[in-house]
Structure 1
Amino acid sequence: MPASLLHLEDRLTCLSLIPAVGGSIANWSSKQTGQPLLRPSDQQALNSGSPRRLACYPLAPWSNRIAEGGFECPDGWLALSPNTDHDAYPIHGSAWQQAWHVAEHSSSHAHLTLNSNQPFAYRAEQHIELRDGRLSIRMRVTHLDAHPAWHGIGLHPYLPRTPQTQLCAAAQTVWKASDDKLPNTQCAIPPDWNFSQLKPLPDELVDHAFGGWDGTCLITQADAGYQLACQVSGADYFLLYCPVGSDFFCFEPVSHPINAHHLPGKPGLRLLQQGQSTELEFSLHYQPLTQAEGGD
């Protein structure tokens, strides 16, 4: 039986959640035009039981890939196995592969929780709210295990892509990856990937982490008549994934670069003791372009 949907709305937009499938967002759209603001999930996607077919899912207690079969913690080695059938590395943590609980729900707000024992004990929470066209997600992870461990956090939104889609997200560096999709060099951003000014997405494959981000982003969808103004705190990096020939792209606010557990200084990770927490806040503000151009 397909998992149940939870619905939120404000005066401008409507959103559906699917808590049992990784605490994911299924759809977010404009009420007036019906335009999808995140990649839309049709019935087949909803029935798939996979967050990777949906609109957005949470990343905890790490983002992206971890190499070497695990990572070192103060009390010893934490072994990890691949958690999908499409990747050689454990990817995106464990929160997205578990059912979340609905702690609170109103017409415009939902509080989702997850108590996990994989790969160690932690509690994850999402406060998801709609207000005047702004989707806000506050995500908090609390370490519950008696042994300290390294934590990372993030969100994985999928966004519609057309030839007119443009992105502005100023960063300072990019982590270049080798053929195994793991970063090994931090370097200056090449011109085609420099989004300090609004510009179209590149035609070639991009699947990289960008650092030195100021936490703001603008995504314009001129042919659909709107833009999304993004704001984040608790994440100094974003992952940009642009698959060639696809009708979507991913812009992922994350606290750390790919494979940070094995990079010098473990950039962006936090070593949490029992009871300590880490938090990320992310908002996407829907603005019709006529309204945005008028300065509202």
Structure 2
Amino acid sequence: MKPTLLELKDQFTHLTLAPELGGSIVNWTVRNTGQPLLRHSDAQALNTGLPNKLGCFPLVPWSNRISDGGFDRPDGWLALEPNSLTDPYPIHGSAWQQPWQVMSQTHDEVLLQLDSTTPFAYRARQRFHLSAGKLSIELHVTHLAERAAWHGLGLHPYLPRTAGTQLQAKAGQVWLCDASKLPTRLSSPPADWDFQQLESLPDTLVDNSFSEWDGHCLIRQPDLGYELECRASGSDYYLLYCPVGLAFFCIEPVSHPVNAHHLPGRPGLVLLEHGQSTKLTFSLQYRAYPNN
């Protein structure tokens, strides 16, 4: 069965959502040209029913991978199983694998909600607002279980990549990883991962968490005729994923680094009691940019 799609439009852009597919964004495009601002999702991608084949999906109640089969809560161990055929670890939380409900919709805003019992009870909300070429996303979670648990949030946008794509996203340090893609130590970013200024993306694989981020990034697409100026709050980290030889990359605003549940001090995670909440926001402002 084809998922029900929701649409928002402003004078510059067009947003399509698939609430049933993990509360995902399917496409975000420029209205007068059809230019994708997120990785384009065609009918085949939509028919897979997989949010990670679409434009963007939410990360609740954690981002990326958790090792060791679970994590400690104040009153005991919470066991987790792998939840993806492509990864040996539980990854990206549970919200992306469940259908969300439409709570309200106006001409410029949609509110989605998920009431989940996996891996514990929580309520997640996403608010999408579109105005003057600016897409604003608010991701909010409330802990509903009686036993406290650690929470983290993030968003996983897929962005077009060409030879000319440039990124600016200031970060003080990066977590280096082992062969299993789990972090091992903090380091200053190597030269080709230093995005203090606008730089081209590296030709080699990047799949790492960057810390001491100010929440601002600029994505310039001179080959495609636009740029995105992005701002995040509740997010001191970003994950950068640059696969080799593919026409997309990901810069993910997240509240914590990979495997934070097992890092000293659990950086970026929030311990929520019943009824307590935390949130993350992310905005992407579209601007036309002269083609080369």
SS in 1 for 2:223: helix
TM-score under structure 1 length normalisation: 0.97
CA distance in 2, matches of 1:289, 1:81: 45
Which residue of structure 2 aligns with residue 112 of structure 1? 112
2:197 counterpart SS class: coil
Match for residue 258 of structure 1?
258
Q: Which AA in structure 2 matches 1:206?
A: V
Q: What residue is the counterpart of 1:22 in the other structure?
A: 22
Q: 1:3 & 1:34 partners in 2: Cα distance?
A: 22
* Offset at residue 141 of structure 1 (A): 0.2
Following superposition, the deviation at residue 212 of structure 1 comes to 0.2
**C-alpha distance after superposition, 1:204-235 (max 9, x if no partner):** 00000000000000000001111000000000
TM-score under structure 2 length normalisation:
0.99
- Residue aligning to 1:294: none
Q: Displacement, 1:75?
A: 1.1
For residues 133 and 78 of structure 2, the distance between their equivalents in structure 1, rounded to whole angstroms, comes to: 42
What are the residue-to-residue correspondences of 1:42-81 with 2, within 5 Å? 42-81=42-81
Q: Does 1:141 align with 2:141?
A: yes
Alpha-carbon distance in 1 for matches of 2:61, 2:183: 19
**What amino acid is the match of 2:97?**
Q
What is the alpha-carbon distance in structure 2 between the residues aligned to residue 210 and residue 65 of structure 1?
A: 15
What does the per-residue CA deviation read over 1:139-176, in whole Å, with 9 as the maximum and x for residues that have no partner?
A: 10000000000000000000000001000000000000
- The residue that corresponds to 2:204 in the other structure is 204
Query: How far did residue 126 of structure 1 move?
Result: 0.3
Structure 1 residue 107 displacement after superposition:
1.8
Deviation of the 1:199 alpha carbon:
0.8
The CA distance in 2 between the partners of 1:167 and 1:214, in whole Å, is 14
- Within 5 Å, which residues of 2 pair with 1:148-163? 148-163=148-163
How far has the Cα of 1:134 moved from its partner? 0.2
Give 3-state SS (helix, strand or coil) of 1:93's partner.
coil
- Structure 1 residue runs without a partner (length 5+): 291-296
**Equivalence for 1:228:** 228
Cα distance in structure 1, aligned partners of 2:180 and 2:30: 39
Structure 1 segments of 4+ aligned residues over 6 angstroms from their partners: none
Amino acid corresponding to residue 45 of structure 1 in structure 2: A
Task: Write the deviation string for residues 18-51 of structure 1: whole angstroms up to 9, x where unpaired.
Answer: 0000000000000122110000100001111000
Post-superposition shift, 1:184? 1.0
**SS of corresponding position for 2:158:** strand
1:41 aligns with 2:41: yes
1:177-207: CA deviations, max 9, x gaps?
A: 0011100101111010000000110000000
2:219 matched to 1:219? Answer: yes
One-letter identity of the residue aligned with 2:194: N
| Aligned counterparts of 1:219 and 1:107: Cα–Cα separation in 2 | 27
Task: Provide the C-alpha distance between the structure 2 equivalents of 1:32 and 1:196, rounded to a whole number of angstroms.
Answer: 33
CA–CA distance in 2 between the matches of 1:44 and 1:289? 30
Deviations 1:34-86 (A, max 9, x none): 11000010000111100010000000000000000000001100000000111
In structure 2, the residue corresponding to 1:224 is in which secondary structure?
coil
Matched, 1:285 2:249: no
Count of aligned residue pairs for this structure pair: 291
- Which residue identity is paired with 1:148? A
Alpha-carbon deviation of 1:106? 1.5
What SS does structure 2 have at the residue aligned with 1:223? coil
Partner of 1:127: 127
Query: What is the RMSD of the two structures over their aligned residues, measured on CA atoms?
Result: 0.9
In the aligned structure 2, how far is the partner of 1:194 from the partner of 1:98?
36
Q: Which amino acid aligns with 2:120?
A: F
Taking the aligned partners of 2:191 and 2:271, their CA distance within structure 1 comes to 35
Q: Distance in 1 between matches of 2:281 and 2:260?
A: 21
Amino acid at match of 1:214: D
What stretches of structure 2 of length at least 5 have no aligned partner?
Answer: none
Provide the C-alpha distance between the structure 1 equivalents of 2:243 and 2:139, rounded to a whole number of angstroms.
27
**By how many angstroms is 1:242 displaced?**
0.2
Secondary structure of the equivalent of 2:82? coil
Is 2:262 the partner of 1:276?
no
What residue in structure 2 maps to residue 91 of structure 1?
Answer: 91
